[in-house]
Chain A
């Protein structure tokens, strides 16, 4: 079966870079995703990466994928107070426990911003 693991908390200073890590077990993963959940809100897609890529950049966000180690990371440059949220890693694989077309999510990393 598939499993997605993330650290529960990350604390960074405002203005620093945040790096949120994720590991997954299913080697047939096709797409990997990062979602953001702000308090009282649903999940919002931040970015996704196809499994044959190793990096994707979108403004302050950089996603790195190490397929050999099944490791995904999200780097947020110049972290601001508005980045305070829960960040979910998710995978879509051919054997996804999230359903035929769905996603399997990690438990989320709470990003805490220190002034």
Chain B
């Protein structure tokens, strides 16, 4: 157990629907990252939050949004779902920001299937 908790583990939904993925970071970690893993694109960075504030954005679609709450858990909202959104969505957390090795600890992922 990495200490990063993601729910749900599996989710099947239909095109056009909206889903919310949840992540609880490792205790003490202030940064949360969302990544999308698909067979053809590999691991794509979506967005990072640090202590409740958005810190960096990657290849996140406008249909997707995220937030980090005061208790540091984060949610990734995916709307108007398309078949191509089917993927594994990973959350990772880290303790620090700025310099240093900044080791990311990953959750087990949420597998989204859009039919």
Nearest Cβ distance between residue B87 and chain A, in whole angstroms? 14
Q: In this complex, what residue of A is CB-closest to B9?
A: A40
| B106 & A42 in contact (Cβ 8 Å cutoff) | yes
Interface size on B, residues (CB 8 A): 30
| B108 & A99 in contact (Cβ 8 Å cutoff) | no
| A50 & B101 in contact (Cβ 8 Å cutoff) | yes
A41 to B97, CA, bound (A): 25
Q: In this complex, what residue of A is CB-closest to B4?
A: A42
Task: Identify whether the interface residues of B are mostly helix, strand, loop, or mixed.
Answer: strand
Given contacts A101-B56, A107-B42, A108-B42, contact A31 B102 (CB under 8 A): yes
| B2 & A102 in contact (Cβ 8 Å cutoff) | no
Q: In this complex, what residue of A is CB-closest to B99?
A: A30
Given contacts A42-B2, A88-B43, A105-B42, contact A99 B57 (CB under 8 A): yes
B50-83 contacts to A (CB < 8 Å): 50, 55-58
B28 is an interface residue with CB less than 8 A from chain A: no
A7 is an interface residue with CB less than 8 A from chain B: no
B86 is an interface residue with CB less than 8 A from chain A: no
A44 is an interface residue with CB less than 8 A from chain B: yes
B25 is an interface residue with CB less than 8 A from chain A: no
The contact sample of 30 A-B pairs, CB cut-off 8 A, is: A33-B103, A40-B108, A41-B108, A41-B109, A42-B2, A42-B109, A43-B43, A43-B90, A43-B92, A45-B103, A45-B104, A45-B105, A48-B103, A88-B43, A97-B58, A98-B45, A98-B58, A99-B33, A99-B56, A101-B55, A101-B56, A101-B96, A101-B98, A101-B102, A102-B33, A102-B58, A104-B45, A105-B42, A107-B43, A108-B42
Chain B residues near A (Cβ < 8 Å): 2, 4, 31, 33, 35, 42-43, 45, 47-48, 50, 55-58, 90, 92, 94, 96-98, 101-109
